[in-house]
Amino acid sequence: MAEGPVVGTPYGAVRGRYENGLAVFRGIPYAAPPFGPRRFRPPVPPEPWDGVRDAGAFGPTPPKPPYSEAFAKLLSDPVVPGDDILNLNVWTPEPGPGARLPVMVWIHGGALTRGSSAVPVYDGRAFARDGLVFVSLNYRLGVEGYGLFPDAPANPGLRDQLAALEWVRDAIAEFGGDPDRVTVFGESAGAISIGALLASPRAKGLFRRAALQSGPPEVTERDKVRRLVRRMATRLKIPATAEAFAAVDRAALAEAQAEVGRRASPVLGGPAFGIVVDGDLVPRDPLEALLDGDAARDVDLLLGWTSEEYRLWLAPTGLLERIDRLGPVALAGAMARCRCGPEVPRGYRLVHPDASTADLVGQLVTDHLLRVPLHRLADAHPAPSYVYEFAWPSNVPGLGACHALELGFVFDTADVPESAKLAGPGAPQTLADEMHSAWVRFAVEGDPGWPVWDATHPVRVFGAGEPAIVHGPRDRELALWEAEFAASEAAADAADQGTRKAQKTPKPGAVPLSVVRRLRRPGGARRG
Q: Verify whether residue 321 is a known catalytic residue.
A: no
Nearest in space to 91 (alpha carbons), one of 80, 71, 106: 106
Annotated catalytic residue 437: no
Per-residue pLDDT tens for 51-108? 999 999 999 999 999 999 999 999 999 999 999 999 999 999 999 998 999 999 999 9
**pLDDT score, position 526:** 32
pLDDT band at 463 (very low <50, low <70, confident <90, very high): very high
User: Cα–Cα distance between 41 and 179 in angstroms, integer?
Assistant: 27
Residue 237 confidence (pLDDT) above 50:
yes
Please tell me the predicted confidence (pLDDT) of residue 514.
39
- pLDDT at position 525, please? 33
Residue in 108, 375, 381, 403 annotated catalytic? 403
Please indicate whether residue 430 or residue 528 has the higher confidence score (pLDDT).
430
pLDDT at 528 over 50: no
Helix or strand (DSSP H, E) at 327: none
Residue 506 reports pLDDT greater than 90: no
Q: Mean pLDDT across the stretch 218-224?
A: 95
Residue extents of the structural domains in the chain: 6-317+367-476
DSSP state of 468: E
Q: Are 356 and 492 in contact (CB under 8 A)?
A: no
User: For the chain, what is the mean pLDDT?
Assistant: 92
Q: What are the residue ranges of helices labelled H in 385-474?
A: 407-410, 417-423, 429-445
235-254 per-residue burial string, b: 16 or more CB within 10 A, e: under 16? ebeeebbbeebbebebeebb
3-state secondary structure 235-277: HHCCCCCHHHHHCCCHHHHHHHHHHHCCCCECCCECCCCCCCC
- CB 140, CB 128: distance < 8 Å: no
Please, which pLDDT band fits residue 2 given cuts at 50, 70 and 90?
Answer: low
Pairing of the two strands 52-54 and 22-29: unpaired
Looking at 309, 406, 418, 477, which residue is catalytic? 309
First to last CA, the chain: 46
Query: For 365-411, how does the pLDDT look when each residue is reduced to its tens digit (9 = 90+)?
Result: 999 999 999 999 999 999 999 999 999 999 999 999 999 999 999 99
Cβ–Cβ under 8 Å, residues 186 and 194: yes
Options 116, 188, 200, 385, the catalytic residue:
188
Q: Is 394 one of the annotated active-site residues of the chain? A: no
Statement: residue 173 has pLDDT above 80: yes
Architecture of the domain delimited by 6-317+367-476: 3-Layer(aba) Sandwich (3.40)
Return d(Cα 353, Cα 335) in angstroms, integer. Answer: 18
Neighbours of 266 (CB within 10 A): 21
